[in-house]
Amino acid sequence: MNFNNTNFDNYFKNYPDEKGYFGKYGGCYVTPELKAAMDEITEAYFTICKSSKFISELRRIRRDFQGRPTPISHLERLSGTVGNVQLYVKREDLNHTGAHKLNHCMGEALLAKYMGKKKLIAETGAGQHGVALATAAAYFGLECDIYMGSVDIKKQAPNVARMKILGANVVEVTHGLATLKEAVDAAFEAYAKEYKTAIYCIGSVLGPHPFPMMVRDFQSVVGIEAREQFIDMTGELPDAVVACVGGGSNAMGMFSGFLNDPVDIYGVEPLGRGTALGDHAASLTFGTEGIMHGFNSIMLKDENGEPAPVYSVASGLDYPSSGPEHAFLHDLGRVKYDVIGDDDTIDAFFALSRLEGIIPAIESSHAVAYALKLAKKMGKGSILICLSGRGDKDMDYVIENFGIR
């Protein structure tokens, strides 16, 4: 496949480049001290990821601990509602802890272990990344500090309890608005002091190099499995692949398996309540180029050029940017990024639950909702959706705010 002279045959060898760029996006915009820490991680990763011991250990963990490979399910009854298109879901909801995030957390923690680090540090907003990382820390016997704003701690009591039960230290961040942004700052500050003995674990294909690349590589298991399974099930490739995009890790994992195939790829961003700034979190659709949190990408900015306030019904999607590789694939036109609003998302949440017996995460429901629309447009063929996680965490919220539909 050729898009604007980008040859996808050697894509993973060429992107990112040595400095961590996907075209003009990516890079490593941090203080010199943190740059040294990122360089150490990059070097360790490039050495370790070629080691057969590391690879076979990660494979064993995925099989024996995470329960991989996760299956693909054919959505027969839901497909029946959209005419002749057949819908399939890759079941990351069946990955241990109920979402795809553990795929990169286990990789990051295994790397930490190989590097001789004693502690994992991260921030969390809704608590999903914190829980996945606390799980990995428990598995490997590492300490774990999760920075979280006091506002989020109050809102996300079950995830705070999970992290504590798993043995993580939840560090309350009280300054400013006391939500995700402050937690990111506090976690980076702590890491700058502790980087000799600790490693920072980013929760998506975001942040300074090497994280967008590393998290993609760890998530690529989703796309590799899915491609093989889909061919096995149907004898051919899907016509389209769809995934929701917050930071973009589940999408990058899935897409990476199909970039070099004649398959249409769609990244779905949250339109929330509408197109006004502050009502959505569709950064690739409405944003512009800019640097934040250590990397250059496409982002939503306020009038001062700072990260804009964003909204989505899905707490895992409300981030004012997306990973640099998505910005690159967006500009190339290899992936089409589009939006879906809250209302269609909640309808899809109930449709998948009622017709298929699968309660999806609200994040994943965005991908399902978009696939339903796309199916009506396509009229025939097949769509493979990345079901990034299960919806147990969202049930109370949905019933309280939307009732039973």
Ligand X SMILES: *Cc1c(COP(=O)(O)O)cnc(C)c1O
Residues of the shown chain interacting with ligand X in the complex, contacts defined by CB under 6 A: 99, 101, 128, 204, 244-251, 316-317, 361, 363-364, 388-389
Provide the 10 A C-beta neighbour count for residue 378: 18
What is the nearest approach in angstroms of ligand X to the Cβ of residue 247? 4
CB of 206 to ligand X, least distance (A): 8
Nearer to ligand X, 204 or 285 (CB): 204
Q: Between 38 and 284, whose beta carbon lies closer to ligand X?
A: 284
Give catalytic status of residue 92 as yes or no.
no
Cis peptide before 210 (omega within 30 of 0): yes
How many CB atoms sit inside 10 A of residue 342's CB?
Answer: 24
Instruction: List the structure tokens of 261.
Output: 């195939």
Closest approach of ligand X to the CB of residue 388, in Å: 3
Distance of CA 94 to the CA centre of its chain: 16
289 sits in the region (left: phi over 0; alpha: psi -120 to 50; else beta) called beta
Question: Three-state DSSP class for 206?
Answer: coil
By beta-carbon distance, which residue lies closest to ligand X?
Answer: 389
Token code pair at residue 300: 């939503």
> How far separated are the first and last CA of the chain, in Å rounded?
43
For the question of residue 123 being annotated catalytic, the response is: yes
Residue type present at position 134: A
Catalytic residue among 101, 113, 181, 301: 101
Residue 221 bridge partners (DSSP):
none
- Supply the minimum distance, in Å, between the C-beta of residue 44 and ligand X: 23
Q: Which is nearer to ligand X, 317 or 351 (CB)?
A: 317
Name residue 22's beta-bridge partners.
25
By beta-carbon proximity to ligand X, the closer residue of 195 and 211 is: 211
Closest CB 389 distance from ligand X, rounded Å: 2
Q: Is 117 a catalytic residue?
A: no
Q: What is the SS3 assignment for 127?
A: coil
Angle at 166 between CA 162 and CA 170, to 5 degrees: 70
Q: HEC profile for 316-335? A: HHCCCECCHHHHHHHHHCCE
Residues with catalytic function: 101, 123, 388
